[in-house]
Amino acid sequence: MSEIVIAGVGGQGTVLASKLLAKAALLEGHAVRTAETIGMAQRGGTVLGHVRIARENNYGGARTGSHSDLPLSPLVSAQSADLLIGFEPGETVRALPFVRNGGAVVTAMQTLVPAGAAASSIVQGYNGAAELAYLQGCQTTGRLGSLMVVDGVAACSRLGSFKALNVLLLGAALATGSIELSEQALLAAIDALVKPQFRELNKQALAQGMSLLAAQGDLEETRS
Amino acid sequence: MSRELCMGNQALALGALKAGINVAAGYPGTPSSEILETLDVQVKARGLTALHVEWSTNEKAALELGFGASLAGARALVTMKQVGLNVASDALMTLPYLGVKGGLVLVVADDPGPISSQTEQDTRQFAGFAKVPVLDPSTPEEAHRMIQSAFDLSEWHATPVIVRPSTRICHGAVGLDTSYDYVPHAVSGFERDPRWVIFPRRTYEGHLELLSRLSAIAADFSASPYNALINTHATAPAHQGIVAGGISYAYLHDALLQLDDLASLRLFKCGTPFPFPQTLALQFLEGLREILVFEELEPVLEREFLQLIGRHQLKVKVFGKLSGHANLAGENSVSLIARQVEALYGDNGFAPPLDVTPQTSTGSGSNPAAVAPDLPARAPVLCAGCPHRASFYAVKQALKGRPAVFSGDIGCYTLGNALPLDMVDSCVCMGAGFTVPQGMQWAQPDVLHLGFVGDSTFFASGLTGVVNAVYNQAQVTLCVLDNATTAMTGSQPHPGTGIRLGTHRAAQESTDVAGGESGTNAEGAADGEDAMGAGGATSAADTKGALDIPAVLRALGVRHVAQVDPFDLKAAQEAVREAVSHSGVSAVVFKAPCITVAPPQTRRGVDPGLCSACHKCIREIGCPALIVTSEKKARIDQALCYGCTLCAQLCPTHAIQPLQAAKGGGAA
Ligand code: SF4
Ligand code: SF4
């Protein structure tokens, strides 16, 4: 059983990220349940994707009439996520209560300043430093088993597209070993779900994300 | 067998295809919209010419049309969200009296939370009021089976049937075998019969008929595979039971996986809340002294149990919403249910409840090293480049300093209420944006009254309000925000676009008009179509049969009708000033496409040399692409900017200029 929460802001491509995870899990023969935020809340609001993967076929299939050990809820419960992938530091912290003690977090470093805040308070204190410090504190105390901070802007600039942050973060999470899926399965999921003209970009993003782990130490130093 | 990730709405659509539906109609509404969109994709992909799929102008039209198809002996599916049932209720209330011929199934999606709705109404309760059987799925795969059963049930008992998924069913996904054979139901044709015409005498007979039909269905439901008694062989203490319906059953199931000693509890999973399966419920109650009921929204099952227990004078205590032992409003969850079960039945040796504080990140003692920082609130906002922002801004500027009230309506444009626009003073329901200002105007004539209605809403529920204003000569200005799509629910076409679903729709498969890297602010980032694709985006390609909004307004008797491009700020302001000075009903149509159906224009950038750091652009329009640099100058986020030009038009120093490449990558 692996439980993953994906947290971001409407427009960041969280839905595709969770679809890719779910598709890869299906391709590997696992059972999957997911839930997404869709609709008005998406317009620049907080979006959460839930992905629950279990190692059995026939996940909750025909057995709703009896008690099986396979979960039926599409949502990850509080303090049960093995992995949280955050697309924005504030959203990562907001979703932290989903993570189980000792769980893993992969988060993008850069903040997205809410539109309302930009309009109402010209001086913005929100730069993600406090959020990342808090996450690091969580790791120090053992609340988190692992934390990886990704410089999404640098990596996306190298890729030449800011739309690939989602798959980049998936790659980073995959490299940490906190997703029990193979790279092949995720590549196959990209083939299955992404339009031909974007496949190459997404595969590069996955590879780029996977290669970031080694450089994590440097990234943490350059943050702020 | 091909196992695909399927959203509940896709599972419902595939189930309906397996049932051989002939006609499918609905009106978009989150979380129901993907059902018809999936059918549309399937009709085109598989060439299912025997199936008619349409977006109707509103839910009432869709249901009446579905009934017409049923009268002709066809199987008809009608989809809507819960508040759509309010619109369709005029027809719904009468249909059970008449009965149906071909299977007539409504999917009405409820939205506990609510996540994107104006009410937390419960369709199970509405079904009871209308005397229509309702099925309540606990998982997407169960929804898939239920909709097939619903058509059989509808025909066996000659009644409309409602399937009521909630948001987490509609938008939850699961791996599902997506293969199906579409064998259209054989249409028997209409036969004249006096019973199809409602008259008071027929109503009386029909009332008795439908009551006896409901008792028969209740008896059937006691043997339904969608209901289950679980753990009835439990050993002591066997006096406590739990009831759960809909998604709450899934949550309860998972909560019990976390709690020990579940064998001592007896469970009743109820998938058929109305008519209530009393026989099965009585069987469940045998030997029980306490039951705890979990359901979202109204205490429908709880009340049924209270009634049943009262009638049979059983000694069973009922715990639930009415007793304060379950959530009164909003969604249930695994954690909540685990806590509530533990709180009531905890002395049975259950594991202690999880320490859960899902909404806040402070406290909870899990991170003694640091206190979680305060996080910025992230309210939904109009997209960068949204034409509604320009329309509201034009009205606001045009009427600066004059007392005016702005009545809003349901759609993305409700977000015009947020600062800094602050241009929506009220919002009630579809169409009210045109009628509320009329009432206010009769009460308070010395103030300007403007109403705002979107294009899809205009056709769905706005027309009668226009007629009313003209007929009664109200002094109002009616503003139509025409962005060429039904944006908030995922860009569905409407009568103003002329684009239709299904095989009637002209060949224009490239629904992704924006193409390239454009993406949209609404979840378009490097996004792909999945195999089951729910891509109903509108395109400007085929506009045959499109209704012209200014022409409609004129035909309805509005004397002064102007149409402007809201991105021409000067012209738009002038049009507003002129309209409000007109005596009687006036109208302004703000016409510019939503960013989800139009390609981006040349992106704008701020020349830091020219920017005086006055922040007028940021302060006045609230475009999410506009940000402040560390030097306090304005900057435009190139990943978000859609090149609408609004900010450039109001910059006093002309610091905002077009950037050279319109369609390049999103690099900053
Ligand atoms: S042109 Fe200005 S107002 Fe329009 S989307 Fe770009 S930044 Fe926003
Ligand atoms: S989806 Fe379209 S209508 Fe809705 S906020 Fe975005 S641009 Fe505006």
pLDDT of amino acid A60: 41
Of B389, B480, B520, B596, best ligand 2 pocket probe by most atoms within 8 Å of the beta carbon:
B596
Ligand 1 neighbour B626 (Cβ under 6 A): yes
Q: What is the dihedral of CA A169, A171, A176, A179, to 10 degrees?
A: 100
Residues in chain A closer than 8 A to B330 (CB atoms): none
Residue B339 lies in a domain: yes
- CA of A212 vs chain B CAs: smallest distance (Å): 20
**Three-state DSSP class for residue B20:** coil
Under 8 Å between Cβ of B322 and B329: no
Residue B369 lies in a domain: no
Residues in chain B closer than 8 A to A92 (CB atoms): none
Rounded to whole angstroms, the Cα distance separating A223 from B605 reads 26
What letter represents residue B356's amino acid? V
Q: Which ligand is nearest to the CA of B418?
A: 2
| B615 Cα to the center of ligand 1, angstroms | 14
Q: Please name the member of A78, A93, A195 whose beta carbon is closest to the beta carbon of B356.
A: A78
Supply the CATH number for residue B613's domain. 3.30.70.20
Domain endpoint, select from B200, B221, B242: B221
| Domains in chain A with CATH codes | 2-60+72-113+127-222 (3.40.920.10)
Residue B494 lies in a domain: yes
B78 & B134 share domain:
yes
Residue span of the structural domain in which B212 resides: 3-221
Q: Under an 8 A CB cutoff, do B174 and A160 touch?
A: no
Output the CA angle A216-A219-A222, nearest 5 degrees. 160
Q: Which of B114, B112, B39, B119 is nearest to B87 (CA)?
A: B119
User: Which two structure tokens, joined as six digits, stand for B232?
Assistant: 């009835």
The widest CA-to-CA distance across chain B, in whole angstroms, is 83
B417 & B562 share domain:
yes
Q: Under an 8 A CB cutoff, do A35 and B173 touch?
A: yes
Sign of CA dihedral A143, A146, A149, A150: negative
Ligand 2 neighbour B412 (Cβ under 6 A): yes
B252 & B179 share domain:
no
- State the CB neighbour count (10 A cutoff) for residue B664: 13
Residue B358 lies in a domain: no
- CA of B383 vs chain A CAs: smallest distance (Å): 6
Burial B340-364 (b: 16+ CB within 10 A, else e): bbbebbeebebeebbebeeeebeeb
B332 & B412 share domain:
no
Rounded to whole angstroms, the Cα distance separating B428 from B441 reads 17
Taking CA atoms only, the protein residue closest to ligand 2 atom 6 is: B383
Ligand 1 neighbour B580 (Cβ under 6 A): no
Under 8 Å between Cβ of B283 and B303: no
**Three-state DSSP class for residue B116:** coil
Output the CA angle B83-B88-B92, nearest 5 degrees. 120
Q: For chain B, which ranges sit under pLDDT 70? A: 1, 232-237, 260-264, 347-370, 504-544, 661-668
Rounded to whole angstroms, the Cα distance separating B458 from B618 reads 31
- CA of A218 vs chain B CAs: smallest distance (Å): 23
Q: Under an 8 A CB cutoff, do B335 and A77 touch?
A: yes
B217 & B237 share domain:
no
Q: What is the dihedral of CA B394, B395, B396, B401, to 10 degrees?
A: 120
Output the CA angle B550-B551-B554, nearest 5 degrees. 85
B337 & B407 share domain:
no
Average pLDDT (A86-107) is 96
Rounded to whole angstroms, the Cα distance separating B248 from B292 reads 12
Residues in chain A closer than 8 A to B396 (CB atoms): none
User: Which two structure tokens, joined as six digits, stand for B593?
Assistant: 């496409």
The full DSSP string for B302-357 is HHHHHHHHHHTT---EEESTTTTSS-SSS---HHHHHHHHHHHHGGGTPPPPP---
Q: Under an 8 A CB cutoff, do B250 and A72 touch?
A: yes
Residue B624, C-beta contacts closer than 8 angstroms, at least 6 positions apart: A44, A114, A115, A118, B381, B383, B384, B521, B637, B640
B437 & B498 share domain:
yes
| pTM, entire model | 0.90
Within 13 Å, how many C-alpha atoms sit on residue B116's CB side? 31
B182 & B74 share domain:
yes
Residues in chain A closer than 8 A to B114 (CB atoms): none
Rounded to whole angstroms, the Cα distance separating B593 from B585 reads 25
**Three-state DSSP class for residue B155:** helix
B62 & B137 share domain:
yes
pLDDT of amino acid B668: 35
User: Which two structure tokens, joined as six digits, stand for B293?
Assistant: 């009921």
The answer, for A214 touching chain B at a CB cutoff of 8 Å, is no
The answer, for A196 touching chain B at a CB cutoff of 8 Å, is no
Residue B364 lies in a domain: no
**At residue A220, does pLDDT exceed 60?**
no
The answer, for B650 touching chain A at a CB cutoff of 8 Å, is no
Residue B368 lies in a domain: no
Q: Which of B239, B298, B292, B289 is nearest to B264 (CA)?
A: B239
Tell me B362's DSSP state: S
Under 8 Å between Cβ of A197 and B527: no
Domain endpoint, select from B163, B193, B221: B221
Taking CA atoms only, the protein residue closest to ligand 1 atom 6 is: B641
Q: Under an 8 A CB cutoff, do B380 and A40 touch?
A: yes
Rounded to whole angstroms, the Cα distance separating B78 from B165 reads 14
What letter represents residue A93's amino acid? V
Under 8 Å between Cβ of A124 and B629: no
Residue B584 lies in a domain: yes
Average pLDDT (A147-158) is 92
Q: ipTM above 0.95?
A: no
Rounded to whole angstroms, the Cα distance separating B90 from B86 reads 8
Which three-class secondary structure string do you get for chain A? CEEEEEEEECCCCHHHHHHHHHHHHHHCCCEEEEECCCCHHHCCCEEEEEEEEECCCCCCCCCCCCCCCCCCCCCCCCCCEEEEEECCHHHHHHHHHHEEEEEEEEEECCCCCCHHHHHHCCCCCCCCHHHHHHHHHHHHCCCEEEEEEECHHHHHHHHCCHHHHHHHHHHHHHHHCCCCCCHHHHHHHHHHHCCHHHHHHHHHHHHHHHHCHHHHHHHHHHCC
Rounded to whole angstroms, the Cα distance separating B378 from A48 reads 13
B202 & B65 share domain:
yes
Of B636, B637, B654, best ligand 1 pocket probe by most atoms within 8 Å of the beta carbon:
B636
pLDDT of amino acid B256: 87
Tell me the per-residue pLDDT of A200-217, one tens digit each, with 9 for 90 and over.
999 999 999 999 876 665
pLDDT of amino acid B16: 98
Sheet with B586-591: strands ordered across = B404-407, B448-454, B477-482, B586-591, B560-564
Ligand 1 neighbour B646 (Cβ under 6 A): yes
B84 & B191 share domain:
yes
B438 & B341 share domain:
no
Domain endpoint, select from B191, B221, B251: B221
**How many domains is chain B partitioned into structurally?**
4
Supply the CATH number for residue B129's domain. 3.40.50.970
Residue B519 lies in a domain: no
Rounded to whole angstroms, the Cα distance separating A79 from B614 reads 46
Of B646, B649, B656, best ligand 1 pocket probe by most atoms within 8 Å of the beta carbon:
B646
Q: What are phi and psi of B652, to 5 degrees?
A: -70, -25
pLDDT of amino acid A213: 79
Rounded to whole angstroms, the Cα distance separating B113 from B115 reads 5
Under 8 Å between Cβ of B30 and B489: yes
pLDDT of amino acid A56: 63
- Those of residues 280-339 in B touching chain A at CB distance below 8 A are 333-335
Supply the CATH number for residue B296's domain. 3.40.50.920
**Three-state DSSP class for residue B80:** strand
Ligand 1 neighbour B106 (Cβ under 6 A): no
Q: Under an 8 A CB cutoff, do B254 and A71 touch?
A: yes
Closest chain B CA to residue A79: B356
- Those of residues 454-483 in B touching chain A at CB distance below 8 A are none
Q: Model confidence at A55, in pLDDT bands (50, 70, 90)?
A: confident
Q: Which residues pair with A46 in a beta bridge?
A: A9
